A and B are shown apart, each in its own frame.
Chain A
Amino acid sequence: MNKVMRLVSIQFWAMFADILSFKSNKLKKSKIIYAGLVLFALFLGAMSFFYCFAIGSSLKMFDSIDILPPMMMAVTCLIVIVTTMNKVKGTIFGFKDYDMVMALPVSTSGIVASRLILLYAFNMVFVFIVMIPMMIAYGVLAKPSISFYLISSLLLFFIPLIPIIVASILGTAIAYAASKFRHSNLINVVVSFAFLIGFMVISTTTGDTEAELAKVSEMLIKKVNGIYPLASLYTKAVCEFDRKALLFFLAISVLVFLLFSFAIGKVFKKLNTSIVTSQARANYKMQKLKQATPIKALYIKELKRYFSSSVYVLNTGFGVVILTIGVIALCFIDLDKIIGEPQALAMISKSAPVMISFCAIMCCTTMASISLEGRSLWIIKSMPISAKQIFLAKIAVNLTIVFPVVIDSIILCFILKTGYLDSLFMILFPIACTVYVAVFGLLINLKLPNFTWTTETVVVKQSAATMIVVFTSMFIVGLPMIMIAIMPTVQPAYLLGGYTALLILVTIGLYHSLMKWGADRFAKL
């Protein structure tokens, strides 16, 4: 056990250093990043509290406040499953230091357990962010006894165990099935997208109007209890202080976790080999080769790099995919009939540019594209190409990935029957946001690169560069909505027009900075 915990500790700090992109001699920078991270966690916690409090208040009106803890527990479990599923390849299997770790005198089950504990440690962040605000909100609304706080605090640490196992099984199954195909990453992406979209469709078909909330929640809890029996044990333990349920919950969670570690330990090497081994045919015969210009070759190489990483595609392409599916669905839906009131339709039209831009701005591929060069950075650095060409190729890939958004915007203009001016900004604002984030993402990644990552997940999802770009982008795209809300007398199209012009000017400034400062910085990497 000591060896496992030592392994966890080394891997945890290595990953944490990767996430924050700091080295030991950059203490000042790491302190700033630490502070930013704490502030960000507090912000998410506050958001979670308001969400829990709003739901709890509605539930209280229907005398169903006891639904809140299991409901949020189910939400936590789903978050853990969805976010962990695509981390399986890279964390449990196919991690870069596999050879070194496997050569250590630690049992295979111990190594599997160390990787699972690593996943557990990162998932605890989600658990704290969702469940602690829930406990406070429930405490304010239901005024439970001290036992509630004691039991729910204890159970916090056991909530993610089974979801991690479920996600690991799903992730392993997807990665294993995909490995049987030559284009395994593409299969991985398609299956993962199908799973996530299916999950979203199921969760949105329940309806969520306030009047139906209690009924829907009860139904949801029944459903969750049916699918996930531990949820009912959780409800009984936390709300009814049932000791037997509490013990069962703890015992089942720990036992399943240990059993899974042990079982995977038995087949770990075999599974790892299957998942990470590429399909090789060794039957190539020289053929005619296609020629391309250097810039086109760079662009194609970047595009192939993008689609070679399932975690990269899933995290940066989701907004575009979901928007496109939504727009296709809207083509077959009578919006007037569903929404009813024409005012509501007008509201949707007004907020549509921001919604579309949100989907576009979340698809920033450049924020990780420098880091993803990893140890092969020497290739582009030793090639007879300028930094400008490299940057343009990376930006072009970002624009290509987001291009369907432009088509979506045009279709939405027809569906929502927007006027000329509104249509203009429905198309122009997302484009401005996309170009801005592509340039800004690259600048931030040049400032905070990480070439020594052990899994792509770290740079794509958890790096300091990614966090800065994602959250500043949310602010950039959300600002017009705030402006429209606080200036109701000004035409939204004028506000959006002015804001778009400002964003274009900012982007031009950032582009110049990229070509000057960015090129110098790239030379020093």
Chain B
Amino acid sequence: MLKIENFSKSYKGGKKAVDSLSLEINKGDIYGFIGHNGAGKTTTIRAIVGVLDFEEGEIWIDGISIRKDPVACKKRTAYIPDNPDLYEHLTGIGYLNFIGDIFEVNKFDRETLIEKYADAFELTSNLGDPISSYSHGMKQKLTVIAALIHRPKLLVLDEPFVGLDPKAAHTLKTIMTELCEGGSAIFFSTHVLEVAEKLCNKIAIIKGGKLVTCGLTGDVKGNQSLEDVFMELIEA
């Protein structure tokens, strides 16, 4: 579903934020992307979803190059950024309907899925209010709902659990599992190693822009905890 081949990204000044990263995420995978601050996680994620332009390497979504046909790739993808900066002037329902229009979600699916996920995240009663009146957590929930209503084949999340209350975090984890069981793929970055360990079937660890290790969660961590493996690799 997602194939990253030798992806590199340098910023002004020549510093490589990501260096020759290659990864493959298949249908049904919940792929955890772990690394310390500034390791290159967000840069990689932003390139995958077409927010960040890049020159080196290639990223394929469902066999389509993000550089050659970004619109087709974006139709299959949903992105949840680390900071839910939304259109504050719109109401919650206005924003969800806008996303529905852009992704051309039919009326029945749109209404059914908004109701389903808004109820799940206990946000339905707030949907008529302007987003400017929402708390950080409510904005995060709205971003998650917006990402789910067009049934993405690939869900890319950057630190999705930050700002969510424990119940909402649990709901999101359940939805992520359901989505993968339905054939979608999930790629997400997190600093919460316990979540990654429990939720992900595959893990990749990145350090200083370079991939340190990747593979099945069990293979990566072996007999140790993911935290121990991570600390060993990062301090090496």
A residues with CB within 8 A of B? 25, 185, 277-286, 288-294, 296-298, 300-301, 304-305, 308-309, 374-376, 378-379, 381-386, 523-524
Contacts and interface: CB of A to CB of B under 8 A. Distances in A.
Nearest to B110: A289
A271 to B, nearest CB: 17
Interface in B109-132: 110-111, 114-115, 118, 124-130, 132
Interface string B78-106: 01010101111110111001101111101
Interface string B171-200: 000000000000000000000000000000
B50 interface: yes
Contacts of B132: 278
A524 B85 CA distance: 19
Contact of B49 (A278, A382, A386): A382
22 contacts: A185-B89, A277-B133, A282-B126, A283-B128, A284-B93, A284-B125, A284-B128, A284-B129, A286-B111, A289-B100, A294-B102, A294-B104, A297-B101, A298-B102, A375-B83, A378-B79, A378-B81, A379-B87, A381-B51, A383-B102, A384-B102, A385-B102
A296 B102 CA distance: 9
Interface residues of B, number: 48
A386 B50 CA distance: 11
B216 interface: no
A383 B100 CA distance: 11
B107 interface: yes
B71 interface: yes
B75 interface: yes
A386 to B, nearest CB: 6
Nearest to A182: B130
B36 interface: no
Given A382-B51, A523-B53, A374 B74 contact: no
Nearest to B12: A25
Contacts of B233: none
A285 B71 contact: no
Given A281-B129, A384-B75, 13 more contacts: A282-B129, A289-B110, A289-B111, A291-B107, A293-B101, A294-B104, A300-B98, A378-B79, A378-B81, A382-B79, A384-B72, A384-B74, A385-B102
A278 B138 CA distance: 14
Contacts of A298: 102
Nearest to A380: B102
Contact of B128 (A281, A304, A375): A281
Contacts of B140: none
Nearest to B101: A297
B217 interface: no
Interface of B: 12-13, 46, 49-51, 53, 70-72, 74-75, 77, 79, 81, 83, 85-90, 92-94, 97-98, 100-104, 106-107, 110-111, 114-115, 118, 124-130, 132-133
Q: Which 6 A-B pairs have the closest CB atoms?
A: A284-B128, A308-B89, A297-B101, A278-B133, A375-B85, A384-B74
Given A301-B90, A304-B89, A384-B102, A278 B51 contact: no
A365 to B, nearest CB: 15
Contacts of A304: 89-90, 94
Q: Give the residue among B77, B101, B103 with the most A Cβ atoms within 10 A.
A: B101
B64 to A, nearest CB: 12
A406 to B, nearest CB: 27
A309 B89 CA distance: 9
Nearest to B76: A384
Contacts of B13: 25
A384 B128 contact: no
A411 B79 CA distance: 50
Given A25-B12, A384-B72, A379 B86 contact: yes
